[in-house]
Structure 1
């Protein structure tokens, strides 16, 4: 392993290229022995989420780390700034069309910490001061019931949407409690549907019938911890009386149900989805006699919408349809639903075929149109597609600003109105109301600037990865910043699950970092979806290391260009991005001086045994298969931590109530690093779920801790 001291002089020379830096990537150690078996892992006890010994360790770590970070004189100011942004009342209230054309919004601020579900008319929403009616106050509910409720959304029955299923999480967990609510009477329905806490889903069939997928007791969950069984629950029945209509396999990720409705809210088909793995699935239609029939769709595909009787499907793999038609990965196709259900060999119509550097980042449907966010080289446009009588789809472009991130929001089922948004790293979000039928576009609301962007600029560069692939990345910094390696720089990455990192306006980052002289960088590595499914697939399983090398190449390129230096470069990422940070830490610590590792995956030899981990085998591979275990072990951060390495002091944080990525990953990472003699800051929030914060105040605390840490490591 190359030491930072040995490389420091080279890093400061402008003649050193990113390609040369990339050549220093070490091969995986051959002497890995730590924690390769349960018997050789001294920190398994930290996987006991609520274990007495584990929680005592957490308390000790929290006391020490909070003492350091909250004791910094800059923490209070950063916290107050973050809280002011999060609780500001001049934010854009995210609109959601109801079936009746009203506008719903879930809102949190300094008064409504947990939030309030509220409603207004479209005309009122378009004013500067909408008149909101409260549907459900989560803060009042939590106080009345003595619970730390976190609102997870409502599912209301069309067309009148009076009856709703409210999802509530205790402290931010993925597991939810579901309760029936009358949105007109503003009360929970006495004796109505109520489902106790469980991971899973629920959908309305009609007023008296639900399809539920949840924990029904022993043998009802997959090895990933998600539902394996779908049942029909009728009003008045107990859960034990519900009728089983579909059963998957224990090795599946999960099963669930949904009702495919037309624009009038009429059910056209009831669908059962069997998630065979994270990316491959089967879709079955529920027949009137209670049997199911599997639809002839490719394993890697998504049903997107039903538009004018046309079923729209996006493909994640090359596919020859039963009709004999050949389609490509990334294509969006459509059938007339009634024709296709009657005859699976009916011909499909190609709606969209993205180009090599294009990717679809969002699809929604109005009553008559398909509205699509299509990105080229990580810059977006919104297009409207409408089927014509011949079966072909015509395309028009909405006249939105260029070179920004665009988003397709809620769409009306009464007409062709749809909310769309535009934003950039330095451009506050603007919300538009578009008419997909005419192309008319009206600005509805705009977020006022939340930080001083004067003198800042955004640039896009490319870095050459180890295999020669060019990896784009964005840099946000002062236009007059010296290219001498002196700029405090935070590099963010995720790199997995086809999640794209698109330009967006982050008020906390701008206020707490850019405005104070920091530089912000986002890497668009393989594993994401920036260039469609193939960009993601290029870093799957045995090729996971490519994504790590992409991220490392961006870091090296930043240094080679003089944008920053090892002394001033920090990295940040969460969940899969936390694995990214761990790989950088163990493979290229010579490039960085700070690492924020958020709710991470870290012990990749045991990820599939912890909480939802088994569901990600399609992404990473299976550690129980020797060949796959070998490539996973080569990069697994926990097993590859070593003594006498130039690791910086890291900041690791997680949540006790994260029931998706097990907090044991973060705990064990900190414990192992401390055992090896490295300084570590560790913080575990006792609430918050996978987002590591259950309310706005907890979010403000997390942000202040992170930026205090970055200030200490990169600015001092």
Structure 2
């Protein structure tokens, strides 16, 4: 099923093992009661006006806070040096161009640098790509397009029609919003098609059926969006028709998250099934087949499942719940399952095949397919390997392991459907990223590209520890540090967390963390708390809804363990996280401020009693619960940071930042958090980027500025602070 993407972890991270939780740390207080019923209703929220995104009063508040915060942080003598280093890194051409296979074997890439701030879509041959200096041809220059049209275009991807892939649907966002305008583009002429398909700005998508037909899910007017603000209707749009003339083929319910349509194609680009996805909740959905006569048939799949691949006639899917198939077969949460697609569509009671059953400390982090093989990134204790699976005539699947480095993070990239080649990325906290071109048929992999080090990692090491959470669960975390680090609590330490939406923090090389923090003596820690997907669906589901506090306790346990080990101390410990991770930061701030001296709170969720009423928030009810149901409201209110901020606490000065154009997590969360803290008498640094969307990456210069602001703040709070005596 299709899931709304949560904010990508700012660094691909992973986990560490540790000893028992610190016994000397202060006991965790119970969550604070909402201060006098503060903001428990619209009427009692004095800052609800800050939710008016472009309101005159709200923007005056934003501009005043930006002026003050930028003045403080940019006025620090270290800001400019950090800014120049960040700018050099993000604009560097010394990066691996992410490759995407086309059906003809050529390679496409989207590229940004100092001269192409918005980026270019470009192409080359595979042979040329494998050289040190590929000869690229520009397909579409987004800086030039934005200048020519007087628009603030941000590229959001393109889908091209197999098998020749000459006609493409290009998605363009105004300033980085999730909502996009979709326009038909001709790769041969490298121009937008005159009189071609054009879909005006909306959340939703479009998928090719054939060169004259699209499946579209958009905002079609009043009553056509779900309560989450996503499309509720799928239509078939034929060339020459207006949107109003398109045929409605599926209508969901207002309480759904979203509906969308797509085609399941074989390696030759032939449509084998046209499908409708109905996202009933963030994690539960239905898959319907669109029949030739325009009717639909619901298919027998688990409510919590994802279709991953179609390889040699086998439809491969994963289940995130225990499931009894129509055949009577029993499957477990996390299983990878396959059906012979044609046989299954004809008879849903045919037997399925179990492809993979991960162990308790394993998780599947990626599934792709080449022409003949299934390629899987399988992690054990947050360390990755790539396996190749192939259906046998007997119906079972054979498995082999690719010849790749061990004890690293691996990512399955673009796969060819002309043959069995696939790109695989390999990285680690201290290992610059490298890219292998692997042959899934033989298991051999050749190093194609590797990056030089972007920071000096000499003398640094990575440890994996575990911390014991409040309920006894052992929580893995990684510590990246100098090998000769003194264990006396004197180390400026940044603890990163996310902990939601089954999003795993896997080991990865971050030049900016390395250059702006590690190289300057800082310690970097990544917590693999429940709520993530590091050990599969069960690890995530253990912290859903009424159990959300478990994830907060996991994160707090890691902080206490770091202090108990002598890695750091309260004056030297800071935390960072964004989106769901911003909620993590708010929970730490309100529940255990005694553990920290800094918090970078990025595009956060903060007012959890109103999250479901703001932008895409209703789509996350399956993660958090529904504040309109009294029982669920009670558990949400117990940890909602906005309601639990109170006077007289040892809150450090925090740095909160958001984006005006974020149309996923409402900027009102961050604004109201800052306003409430100031009302209670706490110092706050607040910055709102007026561009950039949820990922805050509309252009590279803004990305560099944000990084410099963050690390200037962390330097002031942690590196300048004396260690606890």
Q: Which has the higher contact order (CA 8 A, sep 6+)?
A: 2
> 1:180, 1:431 → 2: CA distance?
32
Q: Is the 8 A contact 1:119 1:135 kept in 2?
A: yes
Q: How does 1:426-505 map to 2 (within 5 A)?
A: 426-505=430-509
TM-fit CA distance, 1:698:
0.5
Could you tell me which residue of structure 2 aligns to residue 220 of structure 1? Answer: 224
1:244 paired to 2:251: no
How far off is 1:19 after superposition? Answer: 4.6
Q: Does the alignment pair 1:316 with 2:354? A: no
Structure 1 length normalisation: TM-score?
0.97
Could you tell me which residue of structure 2 aligns to residue 208 of structure 1? 212
- Say which SS state the counterpart of residue 246 (structure 1) adopts: strand
Q: Are 2:46 and 1:42 equivalent residues in the alignment?
A: yes
Equivalent residue for 2:23? 20
Q: Secondary structure at the match of 1:639?
A: helix
Distance across 2 between alignment mates of 1:518 and 1:565? 13
SS of match in other structure, 2:438? strand
Q: What residue number does 1:296 align with?
A: 300
Select the residue among 545, 559, 563 that pairs with 2:563. 559
Cα offset, 1:148, TM superposition: 1.0
Q: Which residue of 1 aligns with 2:5?
A: none
Answer yes or no: is 1:340 the counterpart of 2:340: no
* Residues 1:151 and 2:155 are matched in the alignment: yes
Q: CA deviation at 1:400?
A: 0.9
SS where residue 345 of structure 1 aligns? coil
1:192 maps to 2:191: no
Distance 2:695 2:533 in 1: 21
Shift of 1:20: 2.6
Say which of 115, 118, 124 aligns to 2:122: 118
Answer yes or no: is 1:90 the counterpart of 2:94: yes
Q: CA deviation at 1:29?
A: 2.8
8 Å CA contact retained: 2:23, 2:564? no
Q: Which runs of 5+ in 2 are unaligned?
A: 1-18, 721-725
Deviations 1:588-622 (A, max 9, x none): 00000000000000000000000000000000000
The alignment of Structure 1 onto Structure 2 pairs a total of residues equal to 701
Number of the residue aligned with 1:29: 32
* Secondary structure, counterpart of 1:20 in structure 2: coil
Note if 1:163 corresponds to 2:164: no
**Partners of 1:342 and 1:20 in 2: how far apart?**
61
Q: Within the alignment, does 1:625 sit opposite 2:629 as a pair? A: yes
Mapped to 2, the partners of 1:652 and 1:183 lie a distance apart of 42
- Given that residues 367 and 376 in structure 2 are in contact (C-alpha distance below 8 angstroms), is that contact kept between their aligned partners in structure 1? yes
Cα offset, 1:693, TM superposition: 2.9
Q: CA deviation at 1:25?
A: 1.1
How much does 1:692 deviate? 1.8
Deviation digits for residues 161-200 of structure 1, max 9, x if unmatched? Answer: 0000000000000000000000110100000000000000
Secondary structure at 2:173 match in 1? strand
User: Tell me, what secondary structure is at the counterpart of 2:547?
Assistant: helix
Q: What is the RMSD computed on CA atoms of the aligned residues?
A: 0.9
Instruction: Give the equivalent residue in structure 2 for 1:4.
Output: none
Give TM-score, length-normalised by structure 2: 0.96
1:499-526 per-position Cα deviation (integer Å, ceiling 9, x unaligned) = 0000100001100000000000000000
SS state of the match for residue 285, structure 1?
strand
Which of 330, 335, 353 does residue 331 from structure 1 map onto?
Answer: 335
Q: Deviations over 1:141-164 (max 9, x none)?
A: 000011111000111001110000
Matched-pair contact (CA < 8 Å) for 2:82–2:708: yes
Is 1:653 matched with 2:657? yes
State the distance in 1 between where 2:179 and 2:515 align: 34
**2:572 paired with 1:568:** yes
CA contact 2:234–2:249 (8 Å) conserved in 1 = yes
Preserved CA contact (<8 Å) 1:103 1:121: yes
Trace 1:537-686 onto structure 2 (pairs within 5 A): 537-686=541-690
Q: Deviations over 1:84-114 (max 9, x none)?
A: 0111111000000011111000000010000
Q: Residue 23 of structure 2: SS of its match in structure 1?
A: helix
| Structure 2 contact 33–644 (Cα < 8 Å) conserved | no
Contact 2:615 2:666 in 1 (8 A): yes
- Paired residue for 2:356, among 338, 352, 362? 352
Answer yes or no: is 1:266 the counterpart of 2:266.
no
- Paired with 2:170 and 2:571, the residues of 1 have a C-alpha distance of 49
Distance 1:675 1:261, change over 3 A: same
* Structure 1 position 421, deviation (Å): 1.0
Structure 1: 5+ residue runs without aligned partners? Answer: 1-15
In the alignment, is the contact (CA less than 8 A) between 1:23 and 1:466 conserved in 2?
A: no
How far the C-alpha of 1:27 sits from its partner, in A, is 1.3
Task: Work out the CA distance in 2 between the residues paired with 1:23 and 1:551.
Answer: 15
**Partner in structure 1 of residue 13 of structure 2:** none
Please give the secondary structure, in 1, of the residue aligned with 2:561: helix
- Per mean C-alpha deviation after superposition, the further-off stretch among 27-36 and 172-181 is 27-36
For the 8 Å contact 1:19–1:465, the answer to whether it is kept is: no
The 8 Å contact of residues 22 and 465 in structure 1, kept in 2 or not, is answered as no
